[in-house]
Homo-oligomer: A and B are copies of this chain.
């Protein structure tokens, strides 16, 4: 018989303890989790940064990852983008009655792997079970505390800075859509879902003057660039031809009728560096993904806007995304 999560496993009693101990804690054990009571005491933090992310992705398992990998990578990436080393994470499950215990364990194992890539620990947790039809399988919240090593922030962005992207874009959104709709393509598309702290650490160690970073998740590259342009009242000038898009991803975009600029990424980020460091930053990024590139620069020509220059030299504005763009991609 298939073992599944039952309502009793969310009761705060014996079955709840067993679920937590046997399926979750067993894989994530560490000295902090051992000490966890209502809250977990942590060592002092000098320059803490804090973030939260809930994950409701469908399907839960997708080419290139699953909700567990995504939850850890996603929350840790938010810290990495602020120049913070991921350290202490909370993990909260909302599980639908009847969810497979084997799938839950698979998700927890993915988390374990991703935690070790980030050098981070789950230090506190919570598990709720809701009746059938009150959740779609499993939802996960990860909140994360990190220590800031550098002060990257959109506040540092200045005219003349260079804009880089860490790889080819739109793979996560395209992979989720393909998986959800059962679209089979000759070259199956994998999500870019990945932890970014190791790359960020390499950039920091190479003394690259990082101004700002942001992973291009919901709303894609278009959302990041527009947020930066609006927040700093500058112009993000992008050369379209410098952005790489996988052929299969391009195909999915055509089916969807979406521009790849608005599709989500989960392991690809935009970075703003001082112009003198752009070439070195590109070299480091390209070691991880050959499609990483300097894609544009910050100017003051159209304050608060993003411009996209085609390979033929024509320019257009890239707007903030609007409407229903693939729900539940994260």
Within 8 A of B (CB), among A1-41: 6-8, 10-17, 37-41
Give the total of A residues in contact with B, Cβ under 8 Å: 85
Tell me the minimal C-beta distance from A138 to chain B in angstroms. 11
A178: interface (CB < 8 Å): no
Choose among A13, A58, A145, A146 the residue with the greatest number of B CB atoms under 10 Å from its CB.
A13
CB pair A148–B54 under 8 Å, yes or no, is no
**Interface secondary structure of A, over-half rule:** mixed
Tell me the minimal C-beta distance from A264 to chain B in angstroms. 7
CB pair A38–B12 under 8 Å, yes or no, is no
CB pair A51–B39 under 8 Å, yes or no, is yes
Within 8 A of B (CB), among A117-141: 123-126, 128-131, 133-136, 139, 141
Point out the residues of chain B lying under 8 angstroms from A218, CB to CB. 10-13, 16
Point out the residues of chain B lying under 8 angstroms from A15, CB to CB. 322-323
CB pair B38–A327 under 8 Å, yes or no, is no
A10 CA to B58 CA, complexed, in Å: 14
Tell me the minimal C-beta distance from A224 to chain B in angstroms. 9
Which stretch of A85-93, A249-257, A276-284, A295-303 is in the interface? A85-93
Give residues in A with beta carbon < 8 Å to B.
Answer: 6-8, 10-17, 37-56, 58, 77-79, 81-82, 84, 88, 90-94, 123-126, 128-131, 133-136, 139, 141, 143-146, 148, 151, 153-154, 214-215, 217-220, 222-223, 262, 264, 320-325, 327-328, 330
